[in-house]
């Protein structure tokens, strides 16, 4: 429903049935999922838009899992993207056990979907705390990302979908200054044309809503740079 609040997972798996099963289960968990059937497609999709996490099969046609891993690590956009390798029993050599492939974790096939999704959650929580949480807190603001509700000082704050996405993004990185362009990409997506001043209008609405029951303005305007959520917690 609120796409940008979801973590995006890139599944790289050449076994059709497993790819479908992974897509179904991760989708059910609330992740936005893309599937690549070989290494080449994986690199292309990652290039189009950097995923928050990659599930990467070890044995792949065209470009091997290890090579995909290496190339993702060599690109600035995916240098720090968590990668979980999927490996068949017996395939996991010293190399993958020691994770000197550049992967963050590995799962041995066959695995249960419960185990896999738990591992995905754990890796996301460790690496990007904001993404895996059901609830975000900053100062007196609480965002319930499951129910899509926002409270400030215990009182309900009513937000439109765009304002919700904006707040969700800012709450993931309190104190960090985002340019209008960065907010556009995070909230509207990079493939949509939206004017920069549209961001200002939505920030204005978000501010007004957040202060509807009183309280200080939690959003700081940084001249010619952008906006940040800035509040003495
Ligand atoms: Ca395979």
Could you read off the pLDDT of 152-168 as tens digits, one per residue? 999 999 999 999 999 99
Strand pairing class (32-36; 83-88): unpaired
| 15 Cα to the center of ligand 1, angstroms | 6
Sign of CA dihedral 9, 182, 215, 157: negative
Please say which residue of 73, 101, 131 terminates a domain: 131
Sign of CA dihedral 69, 73, 75, 77: positive
| 57 Cα to the center of ligand 1, angstroms | 6
Give yes or no for a contact between 227 and 220, defined as CB atoms under 8 angstroms apart: yes
Could you read off the pLDDT of 76-119 as tens digits, one per residue? 889 889 999 998 877 767 666 667 778 888 898 989 998 999 89
Range of the domain at 34: 2-131
Residues 126 and 16 grouped into a single domain: yes
Residues 119 and 173 grouped into a single domain: no
Question: Residue 123 belongs to what H/E stretch?
Answer: helix 113-127
Residues 207 and 124 grouped into a single domain: no
| 87 Cα to the center of ligand 1, angstroms | 8
Residues 40 and 97 grouped into a single domain: yes
Which among 198, 208, 117, 199 has a CA at the least distance from the CA of 158?
A: 208
| 81 Cα to the center of ligand 1, angstroms | 21
| Tokens, residue 115 | 């185990």
Could you read off the pLDDT of 65-81 as tens digits, one per residue? 989 999 999 998 898 89
d(CA 95, CA 92): 7
């Amino acid at each position: 429903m609120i796409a940008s609040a979801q973590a995006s997972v890139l599944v790289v798996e050449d076994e059709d049935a497993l790819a479908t099963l992974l897509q179904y289960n991760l989708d059910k968990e609330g992740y936005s999922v893309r599937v690549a059937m070989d290494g080449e497609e994986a690199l292309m999709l990652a290039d189009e838009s950097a995923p928050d996490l990659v599930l990467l099969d070890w044995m792949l046609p065209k470009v091997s899992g290890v090579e995909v891993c290496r190339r993702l690590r060599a690109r600035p956009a995916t240098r720090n993207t968590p990668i979980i390798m999927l490996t068949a029993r017996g395939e996991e050599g010293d190399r993958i056990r020691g994770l000197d492939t550049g992967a963050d974790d590995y799962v041995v096939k066959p695995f249960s979907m419960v185990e896999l999704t738990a591992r995905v959650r754990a890796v996301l929580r460790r690496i990007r705390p904001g993404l895996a949480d059901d609830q975000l807190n900053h100062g007196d603001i609480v965002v319930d990302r499951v129910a899509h509700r926002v409270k400030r000082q215990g009182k309900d704050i009513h937000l439109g979908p765009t304002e919700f996405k904006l707040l969700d993004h800012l709450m993931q990185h309190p104190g960090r200054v985002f340019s209008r362009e960065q907010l556009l990409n995070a909230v509207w997506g990079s493939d949509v044309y939206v004017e920069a001043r549209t961001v200002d209008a939505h920030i204005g609405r978000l501010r007004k809503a957040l202060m509807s029951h009183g309280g200080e303005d939690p959003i700081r305007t940084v001249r010619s740079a952008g906006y940040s959520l800035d509040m003495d917690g």
